[in-house]
Structure 1
Amino acid sequence: MKILVTGGAGFIGHYVVEQLLDKGHHVIIVDDLSKKESRQIEGVDFIKADLSKDSTKLFSGVDTCINLASKIGGIGYFHKIPATILSENCKIYSSTFEAAARCKIRRMVFLSSSMVFESAKTFPSKEEDILTCPPPVTGYGFSKLVGEHYCRTFLSEYGLPYTIIRPFNAYGINEYPGEYVGYAHVIPDLIKKIYDRQSPIEILGDGNQTRCFTHVRDVARAIVLATESGAAENQDFNIGTEEETRIIDLARMLWKICGEKGEFQPKFIKGFEHDIRRRVPDSSKARKLLGWAPEIGLEHGLMEVAMFLKNAHQHNRDR
Structure 2
Amino acid sequence: MMQKVLVSGSAGFIGGYVVEELLRRGYEVVGVDNFSKYGKVVKSYDDHPRYRLVEGDATDTGLMTELLADCDHFIAGAAMIGGISYFHTYAYDLLATNERIIAASCDAAIAAHRNGKLSKVTYLSSSMVFESTTDWPSYEGQEREVPPPLSSYGFQKLAVEYFARAAWDQYGLPYTIVRPFNCVGIGESRALGDQQILSGNVTLAMSHVVPDLVQKVLKGQDPLHVLGDGQQIRHYTYGGDLARGIVTAMSHPAAHNEDFNLSTAQSTTVRELAETIWWKAKGPDVPLRLVHDKPFEHDVQRRIPATEKAKRILDFEATTSLDSMLDEVIPWIAQAIDAGTI
TM-score class normalised by the smaller sequence: over 0.9
Q: SS of the counterpart of 1:289?
A: helix
Are 1:177 and 1:184, in contact at CA under 8 Å, matched by a contact in 2? Answer: no
Q: Give yes or no for contact 1:161–1:233 (8 Å, CA) kept in 2.
A: yes
Aligned to 2:339: 315
Offset of residue 14 of structure 1 = 1.0
Q: TM-score, normalised by structure 1?
A: 0.95
The equivalent residue for 1:206 is 229
What residue in structure 1 maps to residue 214 of structure 2? 191
Q: Does 1:94 align with 2:103?
A: yes
Quote the offset at 1:215 in angstroms.
0.6
Q: TM-score, normalised by structure 2?
A: 0.89
Contact 2:38–2:190 (CA under 8 A) maintained in structure 1: no
- Aligned twin of 1:279: 303
Give, in whole Å, the separation in 1 of the partners of 2:77 and 2:159.
14
Task: Say whether the 8 Å CA contact 2:58–2:105 is kept in structure 1.
Answer: yes
User: Where do 1:71-110 residues align within 5 Å?
Assistant: 71-104=80-113, 105-110=118-123
Letter in 2 for 1:176: S
Pairs within 5 Å for 1:238-249: 238-249=261-272
Query: Using the alignment, how far apart are the partners of 2:34 and 2:280 within structure 1?
Result: 35
2:128 aligned to which of 111, 115, 123:
115
Deviation, 1:315, is: 2.9
Given that residues 14 and 39 in structure 1 are in contact (C-alpha distance below 8 angstroms), is that contact kept between their aligned partners in structure 2? Answer: no
Contact 1:10 1:39 in 2 (8 A): no
User: Secondary structure in 2 aligned to 1:258?
Assistant: helix
The match for 1:155 among 168, 190, 197 is 168
User: Does the C-alpha gap of structure 1 residues 227 and 294 become closer, same or farther in structure 2, counting only changes over 3 Å?
Assistant: same
Percent identical among aligned pairs is 39
State whether structure 2 residue 55 is matched by structure 1 residue 48: yes
2-side partners of 1:199 and 1:267: how far apart? Answer: 9
Name 1:65's counterpart in structure 2: 74
Cα distance, 1:53 vs structure 2: 2.1
Consecutive unaligned residues of structure 1, counting only runs of 5 or more, are: none
Shift of 1:23: 1.2
Change (3 A) 1:127 1:39: farther
Partner of 1:270: 294
CA contact (8 A) 1:242 1:281 kept: yes
Of 56-65 and 89-98, the range deviating more from structure 2: 56-65
Q: Distance in 2 between matches of 1:312 and 1:136?
A: 34
Offset of residue 295 of structure 1: 1.6
Cα RMSD over matched residues? 1.6
Aligned match of 1:296 in 320, 325, 337? Answer: 320
Taking a change above 3 Å as real, the CA distance of residues 293 and 156 of structure 1, as seen in their structure-2 partners, is same
What amino acid is aligned across from residue 238 of structure 2 in structure 1?
H
Q: Which moved more, 1:45-54 or 1:231-240?
A: 45-54
Distance in 1 (CA, whole Å) between partners of 2:338 and 2:42 is: 21
1:56, distance to aligned residue in structure 2 (A): 1.6
Residue 21 of structure 1 and its aligned partner are, at CA, apart by 0.8
Instruction: Using the TM superposition, give the Cα deviation of residue 177 of structure 1 relative to its aligned residue in structure 2, in angstroms.
Output: 5.3
In the aligned structure 2, how far is the partner of 1:275 from the partner of 1:291? 31
Describe the SS at the equivalent of 1:127. coil
Cα distance per residue 1:237-283 (max 9 Å; x no partner):
01111211111111111111123553211110111112101010111
Whole-Å separation in 2 of the counterparts to 1:258 and 1:316: 19
Q: Distance in 2 between the 1:91 and 1:177 partners?
A: 24
